[in-house]
A and B are shown apart, each in its own frame.
Chain A
Amino acid sequence: MSFDGYKTLIKEGDVVIVYLTPSQIYSVEALPKITNKKGNRVDNVFQTPYGALRCGDLIGARFGTKVQLSKGWAYVLQPTPELWTVTLPHRTQIIYTPDISMIILQLEISPGSVVVESGTGSGSLSHALIRAVKPHGHLHTFEFHEGRAATAQEEFKQHGLSQYVTVRQRDVCERGFGDELNDTADAVFLDLPHPWLAVPHAIRALKSTGGRLCSFSPCIEQVQRTCLALLKAGFQEMQTMEVLQTQWSVQQRNVPVVNLEFVRTEKAAGEAEKKERETAKAVVAVPPASLPGHTGYMTFATLPPLWARTLQMSLNETDIDAEGDAE
């Protein structure tokens, strides 16, 4: 229940982030007992490199404080969507925070927005979307895998977010988002193998006053087909981008300095040959040796409001023709 709003004290059943180092961050549940794989009730003990943590003991502690471990200590933090993204149990490939933040800003989501997401996957993006739309907005998230849809539903309930999200199990490419969502959405997010098949459904779901769409695809071929489908449907402001995060490493470097002044004058008699080599010390930021990995291309587009749609479609026809000629 620890995801909805700022909390001070850890309550029973809360998800708690155990923060050891920037690369050792875990999530646990503040429960004294859990059911293990064999179906027996056992003590809920989390093993860390710095000793065991009895999760039941966390109940009543303050979020943001240190807890003592046998060989060190850890911070216990209230989860945010960003912390959840780095600790969640993977059921699929997930979307990470640099991409997520760009998606939310580009889709122009703010409290009160109605957002349609497909597919739910591991719920990494969903948590951030829910944070952005609550308290009076709503997330409709679709997942075609039965098990994953059920797990996501259970997870939202456990995190106290059920009132802001509806999980549906459906193949949206085949069956669409459902008539009940027609003309309701401010933004649609597609993370599907064939996003172009879902474009007509997205148009039906988006409000008649227009809205934003994002399609997330790892391959450029998918992007091409989606862009063509979007153009044909009259979308405008189409833009495809990828967000690459580079990590600069901060180092202390010694830079040799060459001094050539001394060669201009003759050496005074008796003066020993000076070694004209100095070094300058500096703290520098070194760029990474290789580019960081590609996650996915994000294609953003605006569906104009109904009154401006036909105009956009007539305009786009040119681009589609031009595209056809070039092939």
Chain B
Amino acid sequence: MEIMDSDRNTIKIGDYVVVQRQGYTKLHKLKAHSKLILGSFNIEMDNIVNEKYSDTFQMKNTPGNKKHYILEKVQQINSPVETLNIEKSGSDNRHITNDNEISQVLTKEDIDKLKDEELNSNNIVGQLVNNSKTFSMKTEYSQEKYIKKKEKKYFEYVQIKRPTIRILAQMFYRQDPTKTLGIRIDDLSQILAYANIHSEGNVVLYDSGTSGLMSAALMNALGHSSTGQLIHMHPGNECQRNAFIAMQFPKEQSERCINVNLYSVLRCFYQQKNTFQEQEEIEEPEAKRQKTEETSAQKKSWQLDNERACKILNEKVDCLIITAKEHPVNIVKELIQFLNGNRNLVVFRRTQK
């Protein structure tokens, strides 16, 4: 267990990592010689390989190539708020005129030049302050705010984190709430609680587009080395599984999530009962048995998934969750037959009617 733990703490090629710069986070799949575009920065990621999660790295300019940065592990962060010495502060804003052209001596070109020489928030913010005609007239509160705002813009450190449901839920919602059907972290937490999700039981999820957040959160709550299974029904050909892949569940765990198409699995349930219902044990002639084994080998993986799912549905499930873009009533009516008595149903929909 300990060995596995230390292994999980090392950043490896193939990992999904979360890169955080100030309040901004981005999910990145780490490949050999991969680059990450973070705002206006183009960052080469090679130097984080074999380092540890939660480590902090400094973005360093590469000579001759603007906006191209490499990462260097650091043990210390120099923050402008700490290093800048503010000598004079104003008491109010009566003498400050709001004209950026005049108050800041440095032009955009000057600042870009500074940035391209060395991305150093300390130095840049210091220059900005020194070349500002109005800075010393600002109140100390507004001076602090100014420095923090500028520091944010030129901050040269990133932290690497391992994705968790909390981080993913917050990141997806911030990037674009429609990509998770508007499910915010409090919505997600209550869906999991009221659905009574824990390590045992079979869960059916119908999800029409949360970037895999729902299936990932459910699988995470069902846990590793446990018995709980998840049938993830989706409306399209391929299910969305960004978040699910990012969680990098162990194989044993991710295999307990069966992804099936809603229409195709129901068709299988109604029209091909023989494929999943327990067959009467009949002594088959050897030749025939071989033949059936051959046909099952020829089946496509989605057909096998359908059959696996139908087998579970046939024995009824412990929880039904619907997070749908569509009007949920017909979906609920259809799927509720698979739910055991005294079990939980949660339906989530953003819009009111």
Interface residues of A (CB under 8 A from B): 5-6, 62-65, 77-78, 80-82, 97-98, 100-102, 104-106, 108, 110-112, 128, 131-132, 134-136, 209-210, 243, 248, 283, 285, 304-305, 307-308, 310-311, 314-315, 317-318, 321-322, 325-326
5 contacts between A and B (CB under 8 A): A81-B193, A82-B194, A248-B352, A305-B9, A311-B77
Scan residues 134-157 of chain B and give those whose CB is less than 8 A from a CB of chain A: 140-141, 144
Q: What are the 6 A-B residue pairs with the smallest beta carbon separation, nearest first?
A: A64-B342, A111-B223, A101-B193, A64-B341, A101-B189, A105-B189
Contact A110 B185 (CB under 8 A): no
Contact A317 B82 (CB under 8 A): yes
Q: How far is the CA of A128 from the CA of B190 in the complex (A)?
A: 12
B248 interfacial contact with A, CB 8 Å? no
Quick one: CB contact mask for B226-251 with A, threshold 8 Å, 1 for yes?
10000000000000000000000000
Contact A315 B79 (CB under 8 A): yes
- Cross-chain contact of A6 among B79, B190, B225, B318 (Cβ < 8 A): B318
* A residues less than 8 Å from B141 (CB atoms): 326
Q: Which residue of A lies closest to B222 (CB)?
A: A111
Q: How far is the CA of A310 from the CA of B54 in the complex (A)?
A: 12
B221 interfacial contact with A, CB 8 Å? yes
Contact A100 B81 (CB under 8 A): no
Q: How far is the CA of A326 from the CA of B193 in the complex (A)?
A: 41
Contact B223 A63 (CB under 8 A): no
Q: How far is the CA of A314 from the CA of B222 in the complex (A)?
A: 38
Q: Which residue of B lies closest to A315 (CB)?
A: B77
Interface residues of B (CB under 8 A from A): 5, 9, 52-56, 74-77, 79, 81-82, 140-141, 144, 164-166, 169, 185-186, 188-190, 192-194, 196, 198-201, 220-226, 318, 340-344, 352-353
Contact A134 B76 (CB under 8 A): no
- Cross-chain contact of A112 among B52, B225, B344 (Cβ < 8 A): B225
Q: How far is the CA of A71 from the CA of B199 in the complex (A)?
A: 40
Q: Which residue of B lies closest to A63 (CB)?
A: B342
Q: Which residue of B lies closest to A134 (CB)?
A: B199
The winner among B53, B56, B186, B192 for most chain A CB atoms within 10 A is B186
Contact B199 A111 (CB under 8 A): yes
Q: How far is the CA of A76 from the CA of B196 in the complex (A)?
A: 17
* B residues less than 8 Å from A80 (CB atoms): 196, 344
* B residues less than 8 Å from A100 (CB atoms): 193
Q: How far is the CA of A5 from the CA of B341 in the complex (A)?
A: 14
Contact A311 B189 (CB under 8 A): no
Q: Which residue of A lies closest to B82 (CB)?
A: A318
* B residues less than 8 Å from A315 (CB atoms): 77, 79
- Cross-chain contact of A108 among B81, B166, B343 (Cβ < 8 A): B166
Contact B226 A135 (CB under 8 A): yes
* A residues less than 8 Å from B352 (CB atoms): 248, 285
